Chains A and B, each alone.
Chain A
Amino acid sequence: MSQPVGRRLFLAGLAGGVALIALGGRLPGALRSWLEGPLGELSPSDGFHFYSVTGSIPSWDRAGWRLAVDGLVDKPLSLSLDELTSIGLQTVTADFHCVSGWSVSSVRWRGVSLAALVDLAAVRPAGRALRLESGDGAYVDYLDLEVARKPGVIVALGIRDTPLSSERGAPARLVVPFYYGYKGVKWLRRITVVESAGVGYWEARGYDADARIRD
């Protein structure tokens, strides 16, 4: 005599998935990590997945690279890596959160305070926000100046005691520890002080304007 085993399996699969998430505590993450382990080099060795909105990583050379700070400032800057470093480095340790649900705990970044950098350029009173441009030629994001001046917001040059890798945004990237990762513009090449924040790359494609990490 036949029985509707398929229907029961279907429902059991749904119930199992829901239970795993609703009741599993750390089990789903642990199970995922266990499955990802054998993937070796295919799984992210440093915990980070790679995101780029173009087809290639921008190339750069130490001798020719400059970070521009311009716009509504009295002293426009064009800083080499050494000049940027000479402003003074600070360490920021924070969890990195991606909007799609993965995180990396206690990432130790080393870089220059964004507040110190814009102060060096002497922002005019009309300047209220920053336009941050990536060297990939496509990615642009904005930060209110008030946010940019908060402690922990840095132009990072290093991670975990080593210079940034190309994948992580070398030679310089933004780190905003209280925002999701997409606000951390990689391959940063230009900071422009503007009157008000515009619409960033992902906001123009549907993301919410509020990038604060949700608990």
Chain B
Amino acid sequence: MTRTPASATEKALHWSVAAAVLVLLVTGVVMYVPSLSQIVGQRFWVRTSHLVAAIVLVAVVLVLPALRRGELRRLERDLSFWDRADWDWFRRPWDVFLSTYHEPAAEPRRFNAGQKLLAALVASALVLLVVSGVPMYWWWLFAGEVVQRARDLHVLASFAVTALIAGHVYLAAFGPSGLLGTRSAKR
């Protein structure tokens, strides 16, 4: 089965979002974990880097689709629509984990079910993170309880994104079609 390679626009979207999320995760962890906050200090700069990365993320997600509407609409469809083969992916998590999973022979599909699930969940988590980050940054515009609830959501969504990205990086490296996953896909 031959996969359609990612276009330049798709690569730009993926890697700019990845870079922004990486900065957000690193600065977020530094602000969240006391022992790291103590080592790094510089609260203003860490906080400002976190905000700038969030603004870059939002700008990329808004600007790129506006410039390449048709191309990214197709990407959204490729990621959104699931068929029977996608559900099969979830029935064999152990095979996926061990890189021994082979997709059923069918018409070429650009993304496997894991990538589709990741895209949907990371997208919703990132929206929640951006929205909940607003009362945390501009705290004086909101009631204390709103800021507290926003922080709870921010922390929970951060945990979810971290877990999802860890899984994504693992499968991107060791999965059947991963960079280092030579055991099945490349044999």
A interface residues, Cβ below 8 angstroms from B: 1-7, 9-14, 17-18, 20-21, 24, 28-29, 31-32, 35-36, 39, 41-44, 48-57, 97, 99-103, 167, 205, 207-208, 210, 213-215
Cβ–Cβ < 8 Å partners of A102 in chain B: 148, 151
Do the beta carbons of A54 and B41 come within 8 Å of each other? yes
Interface assignment of B120: CB less than 8 Å from any CB of chain A: yes
CA distance A130 to B128 in the complex (A): 41
Cβ–Cβ < 8 Å partners of A43 in chain B: 33
Do the beta carbons of B144 and A35 come within 8 Å of each other? no
A-facing residues in B110-135 (Cβ within 8 Å): 116-117, 119-121, 123-125, 127-128, 132, 135
Cβ–Cβ < 8 Å partners of B171 in chain A: none
Do the beta carbons of A7 and B80 come within 8 Å of each other? yes
Cβ–Cβ < 8 Å partners of A99 in chain B: 139-140, 147
| Min CB–CB distance B91 → chain A (angstroms) | 15
Do the beta carbons of B142 and A6 come within 8 Å of each other? no
Of all chain B residues, the one with the shortest Cβ separation from A136 is B41
Cβ–Cβ < 8 Å partners of A6 in chain B: 79-82, 116-117, 119-120
Of all chain B residues, the one with the shortest Cβ separation from A213 is B144
Do the beta carbons of B152 and A101 come within 8 Å of each other? yes
Do the beta carbons of B120 and A10 come within 8 Å of each other? yes
Do the beta carbons of A49 and B37 come within 8 Å of each other? yes
* Contact code string B32-43 (vs A, CB < 8 Å = 1, else 0): 111101101111
Do the beta carbons of B44 and A205 come within 8 Å of each other? yes
Do the beta carbons of A21 and B153 come within 8 Å of each other? yes
Interface assignment of B157: CB less than 8 Å from any CB of chain A: yes
Do the beta carbons of B116 and A54 come within 8 Å of each other? no
CA distance A214 to B160 in the complex (A): 29
23 contacts between A and B (CB under 8 A): A2-B81, A3-B82, A5-B81, A5-B116, A6-B120, A7-B120, A9-B117, A10-B120, A10-B123, A13-B121, A13-B125, A13-B128, A20-B156, A21-B153, A55-B42, A99-B147, A100-B136, A100-B147, A100-B151, A101-B147, A101-B150, A213-B144, A214-B140
Query: Given known contacts A101-B149, A101-B152, what 15 new A-B pairs fall within 8 Å (CB)?
Result: A1-B83, A7-B120, A10-B124, A13-B121, A14-B124, A17-B132, A17-B157, A41-B35, A44-B34, A52-B38, A53-B43, A101-B135, A101-B148, A208-B140, A215-B144
CA distance A99 to B151 in the complex (A): 10
Of all chain A residues, the one with the shortest Cβ separation from B45 is A53
Do the beta carbons of A13 and B144 come within 8 Å of each other? no
Majority SS of interface residues in chain B?
Answer: helix
Cβ–Cβ < 8 Å partners of B82 in chain A: 2-6
Do the beta carbons of B153 and A103 come within 8 Å of each other? no
A97 touching B144 in the complex, CB below 8 Å, given contacts A9-B124, A14-B124, A17-B128: yes
CA distance A36 to B149 in the complex (A): 16
CA distance A10 to B126 in the complex (A): 10
CA distance A197 to B57 in the complex (A): 38
A17 touching B80 in the complex, CB below 8 Å, given contacts A35-B159, A99-B147: no
Interface assignment of B62: CB less than 8 Å from any CB of chain A: no
Interface assignment of B105: CB less than 8 Å from any CB of chain A: no
CA distance A157 to B158 in the complex (A): 36
CA distance A164 to B135 in the complex (A): 31
A51 touching B117 in the complex, CB below 8 Å, given contacts A41-B35, A215-B145: no
